[in-house]
Amino acid sequence: MVMIVGIISSELIMTNVTHANASSDTQVSLKKDAKLYDTQKIKKIKTKSAKKYFGKESLYEKKSAKVKKTTYKLVQSANGTKSGWMKSSDLYVVKRKITTKSKYTLTPRINDSSDLDSRQLTQLSDSQIKSRIRAKFINFVQGQRKKTDNGSWISSNGLNKVAQERANYVDPTMGEASHYTTRDGKRHRQEAAILDGQRMKIVKNQNDIYESNGYATLDKNYYHITDYVNYFNEMITDDGASGDSHKTQLLGNEGNGLRYYGIGLRVIRTNYTVQVNIVILSADTKYR
């Protein structure tokens, strides 16, 4: 009986797993933080945070495998000391493209919003990136809220100011701790957004502010505004990892509908990537 079970298990693995094929050492990077698996069988989780595990090391794809129709990549640090398997959808190829342009050629001014969305990130200013992500994300949430009885989403000047203050320094990779950490690095029992609001004399003694934050880091030459928005939209469309806490906040399934919002965005550029951090605050009070 034990031998039969072993054979059945082996057959299932052979059916669902394509043997890993060696590939050229393509440099890759993380789209967002994700799980890292120990072996090609994708059963044992090595760590729930690949970002913390690899740190700032350069990463390279060594092999690929398909498990139950999902493609996984064996990722290894440049010095070969750290490695693990990740979903290919959680990675992107770091492509380095150098272009030359005559010093006498001027880049035309970009005004049309649809044109902005199709431009490479290198052709957009930080303010253009933030304004387009903000507008498209708000439109998406508004559309989702129409499916509820919680009312429309209304911008709050006060919440926008506090959200931007938070976005200017908050590190979303800290996870839950980020919601309780203020600019000075101190961690509090009360939500830091409320403490920041009190310090800015926008919030008094209210305790009705909810915060969600996130980030996306993408190759600056090969991604566009919509790619960031799609990731942030997952706070509603694919929020199982947080127990739907972001979805609950954004749709207003808490308090009295959480109709008032504020959004803060920060753009962080490196030689190869553009990271966008987002902070969303929601409340039943229209802070001014």
Shared domain check, 177 and 140: yes
| Residue whose pair of structure tokens reads 């350069």 in the numeric block | 58
Shared domain check, 85 and 119: no
- Contact predicate 221/122, CB 8 Å: yes
Q: Residue 70 pairs with which residues in a beta bridge?
A: 67
Does residue 269 fall inside a structural domain?
yes
Quick one: which H or E segment has residue 7? Answer: helix 2-16
Q: Which two tokens stand for residue 207?
A: 């305790």
Shared domain check, 143 and 41: no
Shared domain check, 78 and 170: no
Tell me what pLDDT residue 68 has.
77
Tell me what pLDDT residue 72 has.
87
What is the crossing angle of helices 192-199 and 157-167, to 10°? 110
Q: In which domain, by residue range, is 221 found?
A: 113-283
Tell me what pLDDT residue 247 has.
94
With a CB cutoff of 8 Å and minimum separation 6, the contacts of 19 are 65
Shared domain check, 248 and 216: yes
Q: For the chain, how many structural domains are there in total?
A: 2
Shared domain check, 270 and 176: yes
Shared domain check, 261 and 125: yes
Q: How far apart are CA 236 and CA 249, in angstroms?
A: 9
Tens digits of residue pLDDT in 76-87: 988 889 999 998
With a CB cutoff of 8 Å and minimum separation 6, the contacts of 266 are 167, 168, 276, 277
Q: Is 253 exposed, middle or buried (0-12, 13-18, 19+ CB in 10 A)?
A: middle
pTM greater than 0.95: no
Name residues of the chain where pLDDT drops below 70: 1-25, 94-114
**Dihedral pair phi/psi, residue 138, rounded to 5°:** -60, -45
How distant, in Å, are the alpha carbons of 2, 17, 63, 90, 170 from that of 12? 16, 8, 21, 25, 45
Shared domain check, 181 and 248: yes
| Residue whose pair of structure tokens reads 């509908």 in the numeric block | 257
**Dihedral pair phi/psi, residue 221, rounded to 5°:** -95, -15
Tell me what pLDDT residue 113 has.
66
Tell me what pLDDT residue 114 has.
63
Tens digits of residue pLDDT in 129-176: 999 999 999 999 999 999 999 999 999 999 999 999 999 999 988 888
